[in-house]
Each structure stands twice: as structure tokens, then as C-alpha cells.
């Protein structure tokens, strides 16, 4: 969270709404530990990261859906799966669970 | 009135320990494989303090927990808040961020709610006794891993900030006196490394560190040195079970020789101690170290 605070402050003081995605759990190997976070503003600007760059693009999509009212806050999972349920995966083969919410607290 | 986010942000910036608990799943999602939140959970409904009785736990609800300041927010149930507050303080102590499961009123072994606790613990503290060449390398290595580093030696010609510019603090004092002052603050994430090679300093350092909660206690020296040191520690009243806590000879068995290589072997042993991995420790082996 530490490394994204300055961007969040800048966006909020400019009147932007902000979504935050945080790693809450990892299975197998994951590049970032629980607590790693990225923030996305309404214009799709990004701060921080939740993986080694594997899923950030998809997270921006989820964040914009949330800010646009097209999805609820909640858990989003990325990772390898036998049934290929996940369109976006981690090259390391792990699975990460993110909690996506608006920063309105 | 400042928001939970602002309090959280300010604590992180001030490097004050803080934990943020967030309900990420529940109350109706259950323990199955459904990872979607309960639909209709409105994240913009903030429970009003004092009106908790008509608020149920919902995804996004937050509790901000700090060891030295009042807890803020609510997860929607006073009993749940109390249990999560207690758990968050423990997690903060251990430096763990993870998901815990609870019943709606904080019951253990129930899966109604998933709560993510994000911990920002204070930096771990490494106290190095002995202002020697190995100390310089170990202090640098510890800084790389995010430790606050204190170097302590009773000999003022050696213990200078100039010789250890990387240390956060250089203290000229006897080990037992420093530990009398700071011992109560040492916890499971902290480390005490005794590098003095001199019983006169080693023994009070180890004796002073044993009653603390420090997570790692290591002492440098050959096997012969450590045998002699062990005799003196026993004479000083140290029990067998207390001696079990002392990692000596210090470090992993990677054949390190130089101060820099030895520093890697020491911090690697500390990492393995935290993760519980069975890396080959010098203490558990036999024969020469080099």
C-alpha cells in the first residue's frame, strides 16, 4: 500500500474516484505477497502492482467496471486452472485472489 | 473528521504499526467455492458509530487496529469487532497479512465471513553486539532486508557511527545494559546477533537476550569457542532449554568465509527460522566451519 499513497492522494484531491485492488491470498507461487495493492482512477491511470505484470491489465478492467457501477466490490481470482476458467493467468503458475473495492472509506 | 483511509495512510507514512481488517466475503457467501461477493452489498454504506446494532457485516466493512491508539470503524458486529481486533494485534506482532474466517459474531471455526487483515508492522529490529568487521557486513545486509539496525559494543573506540554509517543507531554500552532498556520491545520478528567473540561480552549479551521474546538469537564463534561459551553460560545459570534457543555457531552451512559471505549465511538462517524451513544450519552439523 505504501508505494501508492502519493498517487491516491493526488487523484483524490483532483476529485477523482479511486478503486483499490489488494492481494488477499495466493496459492502456489505468486510474485507479490498478501497486502500488495494497486490503485486505478476513473481515467484508468494506475499506481502499484499486484503481480509481476501478468494480470495488471485485467485488474484495470475490473476496477473500471467497479467504478462504473457494473460490478460489485468483491474477490477476483486470477490463475492457472484446468478448466481454463480464467482468461488471464500468471506465468509462474500460481493463483492470486484480489479484493477489489472503491476507496470510499 | 478524518476517514479510516486517512488514519491508515498517516500511520503507514509515520511507520507506526497499523492493521486494516476488511470483510472480503460474506455474510451469505458461505464456505463453498463461490468467490463472488454477496450481491447488493453496498460498499458506500458506512456503519455509523454507535448505531452498530442495525448494521450487519458486509463486504468492504472495515476495522482499523493500532496497538497504541483507539480502534476505528466496525465490521458490523461488536463481538466480531472485538475478536478481529485481538487477532489483528497478534498478526501485527508477527508481521502477517492474511485472510481469517469467522462466524457473524466472531465465532472461531465458522466460515460465514472472510476477513482480510493487512498488517503494516513496524520494521523488524536487529541488534548486533560487537563492533567488528563482520558487523559492518551484517548491518548492511540487514538494512537491505528492511531491518532497523542497532550496533552495540562497550568499547567506544570501535563503536562509532563513522565505522558503521549504515546502522540506525550505534550504542556504546554493555550488552546487558542495552537489553535492560530495550529487551521488552523485542519480539518474534526481531533478531539479536552476538559477534563479539569474547566471553566477557558474549555471556551478558546472551544472558540478557534469553528472557526477551526475540525471535532469533545467534552467536558467532567456532565450535570450540561455543563449547567454552556454553560452560560459562551454564555457570551463569542458563538452562539446557534456554541454550536450545541460541543459534551457535551462527549461520547456515554454506561455506561462507568473508564478512559479506558470513552475513548472507546469518540472514539466510534468520529467514529460514521465520519460514520454518530445514536449511542446513551450522549448529546442527559437525566439523570445521570453513
Q: What is the dihedral sign for C-alpha B101, B103, B104, B106? A: negative
C-alpha cell recorded at residue B179: 537489553
Beta strand segments in A1-105, E:
18-27, 37-41, 46-48, 74-79, 95-102
Which one, of B199, B53, B12, B283, lies nearest residue A6 by Cα? B12
| Torsion angle defined by CA atoms of residues B268, B190, B101 and B61, in that order, rounded to the nearest 10 degrees | -120
CB-closest option in A5, A73, A99 to B9: A5
Partners of B151 in beta bridges: B128, B170
Binary contact (B41, A73; C-beta < 8 A)? yes
Q: Which whole number is the average pLDDT over B47-71?
A: 76
Q: What is the mean pLDDT of chain B?
A: 90
Q: Could you report the per-residue pLDDT of A3-62, keeping only the tens digit for each?
A: 899 999 999 999 999 999 999 999 887 778 899 999 999 999 999 999 877 788 999 999
Beta-sheet pairing, B62-66 with B69-74: antiparallel
Q: How many CA atoms lie within 13 A of A15 on its CB side?
A: 0
Is residue B54's pLDDT more than 80?
Answer: no
pLDDT at B165 over 80: yes
The Cα B197–Cα A47 span in angstroms is: 48
Where does chain A have alpha helices with state H?
A: 5-13, 56-67
Distance from the Cα of A35 to chain B's closest Cα (Å) equals 6
Indicate the helix (H) or strand (E) that contains A17.
none
Residues in chain B with CB shorter than 8 Å from the CB of A74 are 24-25, 35-37, 41, 59
Domain boundaries, given as residue ranges, for chain B: 4-120, 125-275
CB contact under 8 A, A24 and B99: yes
**C-alpha distances in angstroms, B35 versus A47, A68, B31, B101?**
25, 21, 9, 14
Q: Considering the entire predicted model, what is its pTM?
A: 0.76
Indicate yes or no: CB of A25 within 8 angstroms of CB of B99. Answer: yes
Q: Is the pLDDT of residue B157 over 90?
A: yes
Condensed to tens digits (0 to 9), the pLDDT of residues A65-101 reads 999 999 999 999 987 554 444 556 666 667 899 999 9
Strand, coil or helix: B233: helix
Q: Closest Cα of chain B to A22: distance in Å? A: 9
The number of beta carbons lying within 10 Å of the beta carbon of residue B176 is 16
- Residue A79 burial (C-beta neighbours within 10 Å; 0-12, 13-18, 19+): buried
Distance CA B168, CA B174 (A): 18
CA A103 and chain centroid, separation: 12
Buried b (16+ CB within 10 A) or exposed e, B58-85: bbbbbbbbbeeeebbbbbbbeebbebbb
Taking residues B66-95, what's their average pLDDT? 95
When CB atoms are compared, the residue of B5, B40, B99 closest to A103 is B5
Q: Are A47 and A8 in contact (CB under 8 A)?
A: yes
Which cell goes with B186? 523485542
Q: Are B260 and B270 within 8 A, CB to CB?
A: no
Letter string b/e over residues A36-51, b meaning 16 or more CB atoms within 10 A of that residue's CB: bbbbbbeeeebbbbbb
Please tell us whether the domain made up of B125-275 is placed in CATH 3.40.50.720.
Answer: yes
Is B131 in a helix, a strand, or coil? coil
Please report residues of A whose CB lies closer than 8 A to that of B115.
none
Regarding an ipTM greater than 0.95, the answer is no
Amino acid at each position: 500500500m505504501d508505494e501508492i499513497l502519493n498517487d491516491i492522494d493526488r487523484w483524490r484531491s483532483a476529485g477523482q474516484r479511486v478503486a483499490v485492488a489488494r492481494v488477499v491470498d495466493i496459492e502456489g507461487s505468486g510474485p507479490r505477497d498478501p497486502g500488495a495493492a494497486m490503485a486505478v482512477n476513473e481515467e484508468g491511470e494506475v499506481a502499484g502492482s499486484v503481480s509481476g505484470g501478468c494480470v495488471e491489465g485485467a485488474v484495470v478492467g475490473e476496477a473500471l467496471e467497479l467504478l462504473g457501477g457494473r460490478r460489485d466490490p468483491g474477490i477476483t481470482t486470477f490463475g492457472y486452472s484446468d478448466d481454463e476458467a480464467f482468461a488471464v493467468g500468471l506465468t509462474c503458475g500460481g493463483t492470486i485472489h484480489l479484493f477489489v473495492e472503491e476507496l470510499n472509506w | 473528521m478524518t476517514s479510516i483511509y486517512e488514519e491508515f495512510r498517516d500511520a503507514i507514512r509515520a511507520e507506526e504499526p497499523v492493521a486494516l481488517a476488511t470483510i472480503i466475503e460474506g455474510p451469505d457467501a458461505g464456505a463453498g467455492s463461490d468467490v463472488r461477493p454477496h450481491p447488493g452489498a453496498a460498499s458506500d454504506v458506512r456503519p455509523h458509530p454507535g448505531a452498530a446494532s442495525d448494521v450487519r457485516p458486509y463486504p468492504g466493512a472495515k476495522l482499523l487496529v493500532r496497538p497504541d491508539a483507539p480502534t476505528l470503524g466496525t465490521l458490523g458486529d461488536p463481538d466480531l469487532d472485538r475478536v478481529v481486533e485481538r487477532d489483528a494485534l497478534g498478526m501485527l506482532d508477527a508481521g502477517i497479512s492474511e485472510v481469517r474466517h469467522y462466524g457473524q459474531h466472531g465465532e472461531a471455526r465458522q466460515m460465514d465471513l472472510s476477513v482480510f487483515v493487512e498488517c503494516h508492522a513496524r520494521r523488524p529490529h536487529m541488534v548486533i553486539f560487537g563492533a567488528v568487521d563482520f558487523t559492518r557486513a551484517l548491518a548492511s545486509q540487514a538494512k537491505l532486508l528492511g531491518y532497523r539496525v542497532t550496533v552495540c559494543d562497550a568499547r567506544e573506540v570501535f563503536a562509532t557511527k563513522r565505522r558503521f554509517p549504515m546502522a540506525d543507531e550505534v550504542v556504546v554500552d554493555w550488552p546487558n545494559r542495552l537489553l535492560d532498556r530495550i529487551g521488552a520491545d523485542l519480539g518474534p520478528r526481531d533478531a539479536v546477533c552476538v559477534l563479539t567473540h569474547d566471553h566477557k561480552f558474549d555471556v551478558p549479551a546472551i544472558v540478557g537476550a534469553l528472557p526477551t521474546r526475540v525471535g532469533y538469537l545467534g552467536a558467532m564463534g567456532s565450535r570450540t569457542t561455543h563449547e567454552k561459551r556454553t560452560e560459562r553460560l551454564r555457570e551463569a545459570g542458563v538452562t539446557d532449554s534456554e541454550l536450545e534457543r541460541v543459534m551457535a555457531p551462527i549461520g547456515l552451512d554454506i561455506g561462507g568465509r568473508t564478512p559479506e559471505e558470513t552475513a548472507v549465511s546469518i540472514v539466510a538462517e534468520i529467514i529460514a527460522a521465520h519460514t520454518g524451513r530445514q536449511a542446513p544450519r551450522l549448529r546442527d552439523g559437525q566439523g570445521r566451519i570453513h
